[in-house]
A and B are shown apart, each in its own frame.
Chain A
């Protein structure tokens, strides 16, 4: 008769060790019959495949940029280093959150594969864009301020300058070190033009969701200051002041109309 008096926690610990390291010997005591212990690899292979597949879904432009084989090599190393912390792989590899306190895919590359980052220094920007795009896509788009609402507020005598305006929840303001948005966009959605130069050039991009699709816009310096301020919950007035500090010709009225038309504004709850 096999010994079944073991603790369930010991069984799970042994299996966990196997899943993390591939060491199957501690699990031998829990097996019976003549089946090869190597068949346990079905579980570990399934876990690695699903996790790498999750990273491929979250970083599709990077897959195109590096090719599947090299991406999977790096991704496998990341999965070993930082297994998912959450039972959904949507967002696996992104910046740490309460739900997913792991180091991000890029932080892993920085600390564990510095030679990769040295070879492809703009990879952090690609990762930033991938994360922001998917987060914008999966965010709520409720509460968008519409032209009709604004007209209604004006008709009721409300002072628009006093309204608690914010950027919509789906907006993501991304600061980049390289002028890489065009290349990322080609990697993500279309054909890549050969021989592109990737210049070191600080710039800011905003993504947001509109009609279930993610919109993108490269921002002028003053616009970027304005958007970052709003994103940090500064008031519309304070954001305008900061933008004017950057560019005295900053025209908030024109920008307000553009933001309204783009469905980028909401009223703070």
Chain B
């Protein structure tokens, strides 16, 4: 039976432009752009994303600065510890505590977007601080959907789920794009397409990005991530690691352009979590993403005009 849930539609989203994931060392510089005239002229379409779990605190500078940012810029929450793919197998008290904290933050800051990962990280009372893959089976899909359902129920809104980075091939009953599309269809969630993850999955496991992008419903894609990766020194030709510790690779920029062409304009986020450079350096990369996005916006606008005049 098909779900009657309200379905995510990217056309309804108010998030646009290009963002940066915000680090504490950049709070002041980010806020210096908060003056509305300066922001409009220098950094149009700027928004910020934070890792939700880093704000599981009761007060202090983190929440203070987050409030100041939220007062001036669109804000997106990106969860890294929801462990949606092990929902049925992790202790209920851990899930309840986690969702209660996420819900409190969502209520307080009212972010434009909330997202999580189609992976797992918690099992048997242990939180493994990484994003572990799911085998693409019906059972795993059901578990993931239950996790998404509870997450969305707890915060009272729909979320986006992010595609994983693949390092190996796990036995599967369906392609990753089909698996994710089925999950968003059943739950009413949307998709966060991480182009860097897609590129690494292509390089690591020969997943076909062209086929992958064609299998996605553009209306379900609410956000795109880009980031840098590392080459494993022991297996330089065979293993690329999603480190977020380097500038975005040229091949990922190219794939971003392809994705924007196929999916239409989507808000793009630059992620950097390690070897974090200066704010200016990050903003230069972010501005390149914004320019690409603007170009794709113009292309879409021109094609719509062409259709209208046809």
Contacts and interface: CB of A to CB of B under 8 A. Distances in A.
A85 B126 contact: yes
A100 to B, nearest CB: 10
Interface stretch (B51-59, B186-194, B250-258, B284-292): B51-59
Interface in A30-44: 30-33, 35, 37, 39-40, 42-43
A33 B129 contact: no
A140 B58 contact: yes
Contacts of A86: 94, 97-98, 127
B142 to A, nearest CB: 8
A209 interface: yes
Interface in B116-134: 120-130, 132
B169 A32 contact: yes
Given A8-B89, A85-B126, A90 B56 contact: yes
Max count, chain B CB within 10 A of own CB: residue among A9, A16, A37, A90: A16
A46 interface: yes
A43 B83 CA distance: 14
Interface string A72-96: 0000000000011111111000000
Contacts of A169: 58-59
Contacts of B172: 2, 4, 32
B283 interface: no
Interface string A133-151: 0000111111000000000
A86 B128 CA distance: 9
A226 B120 CA distance: 48
B132 A43 contact: yes
B170 A50 contact: no
Nearest to A9: B89
Given A31-B171, A33-B205, A85 B143 contact: no
Contacts of A83: 126-128
A85 B132 CA distance: 17
B170 A170 contact: no
B121 A87 contact: yes
B86 A12 contact: yes
A20 interface: yes
A2 B135 CA distance: 12
B134 to A, nearest CB: 8
B89 A87 contact: no
Nearest to B126: A83
Given A9-B89, A47-B129, A90-B54, A139 B60 contact: yes
Interface in B72-124: 80-83, 86, 88-89, 94, 97-98, 101, 120-124
A158 B91 CA distance: 50
Give the bracket for the number of chain B residues in contact with chain A: 35 or more
A88 B142 CA distance: 26
B279 interface: no
Contacts of B89: 8-9, 12
A141 B60 contact: yes
Contacts of A37: 168
Given A3-B171, A140-B59, 13 more contacts: A8-B135, A9-B88, A30-B170, A31-B169, A35-B167, A37-B168, A39-B167, A42-B241, A50-B129, A51-B129, A87-B127, A90-B57, A140-B60
Interface of B: 53-54, 56-62, 64, 80-83, 86, 88-89, 94, 97-98, 101, 120-130, 132, 135, 137, 139-140, 142-143, 167-173, 204-205, 232, 235, 238-239, 241
29 contacts: A8-B88, A8-B89, A8-B142, A12-B120, A16-B126, A32-B169, A33-B168, A43-B132, A50-B129, A50-B130, A83-B128, A84-B126, A84-B129, A85-B125, A85-B127, A87-B53, A87-B83, A87-B127, A88-B81, A90-B56, A139-B58, A139-B59, A139-B60, A140-B60, A142-B59, A169-B58, A209-B59, A209-B60, A212-B60
